[in-house]
Amino acid sequence: MPEQVALVPFLILAIATLGGGVMVVLSRNVVHAAFWLLEVMMAVAGLFMLLSAGFLALVQVMVYAGAVSVLVLFTVMLTLRRREDAIRSLDLSWSAAGIALAVLVAAAAAIASFTPTLPAAPVVTPGVEAFGRALFTSWALPFEISSVILLVALVGAVWWAGGGEK
């Protein structure tokens, strides 16, 4: 595991993340926005790799890039009657921009006043084996609860989206 986070890969992935995020919001075509969202997910997975969170990067690619973007694309295509319906107006509102900017300024102030107590270098980050060992020992209860959450979401999604008896 690397002990430092290099600058150049961070800059590349940061530009990919932010550019993709802006393109998600600024795309006129909903399908294009979904593909830009996929690009943002992949870039964030790269950032997880950079932060030596290899397992989370894998989960990010599998869950977000694999499942969520396909789900979004399916929904987009099921709710369009014509091909032209994918093109929309940009829907940009000044009040939303103001709220987002206010949140950004508040977060920037919080970050500026953040003085981390960094541990003395060199830092050796634990790998996937330590992650799994801790997940099934000290984090076992949240793990079980999250499986129940997924089951409830699964049943609820089938119930809502199916609804065959009507």
Partner 1 sequence: MTVGPVPFMALAAILFAIGLFGALSKKSAVMVLMSLELMTNAVNLNLVAVSRFVTPESMAGQFTAAFVMVVAAAEIGLGLALVLALYRKRRTVELDHIDELKG
Q: Which of residues 105-134 bind partner 1 (CB under 8 A)?
A: 107-108, 111, 114, 116-119, 123-126, 130-131, 134
Cβ neighbours for 81, distance < 8 A, ≥ 6 positions apart:
none
- Shortest distance, position 96 Cβ to partner 1, whole Å: 4
Site residues for partner 1, 42-101, by CB under 8 A, read: 44, 47-48, 51-53, 55-56, 59-60, 63-64, 67-68, 71-72, 74-76, 78-79, 88, 91-93, 95-97, 99-101
State the DSSP code for 85. Answer: G
Cβ–Cβ under 8 Å, residues 86 and 30: yes
Contact 36, 24 (CB under 8 A): yes
Both structure tokens of 54: 């290899």
Of 8 and 84, CB closest to partner 1: 8
Separation of alpha carbons 41 and 63, rounded Å: 10
State which of residues 82, 113, 160, 165 lies at the interface with partner 1 (CB under 8 A).
160
Does 140 participate in binding partner 1 (rule CB under 8 A)? no
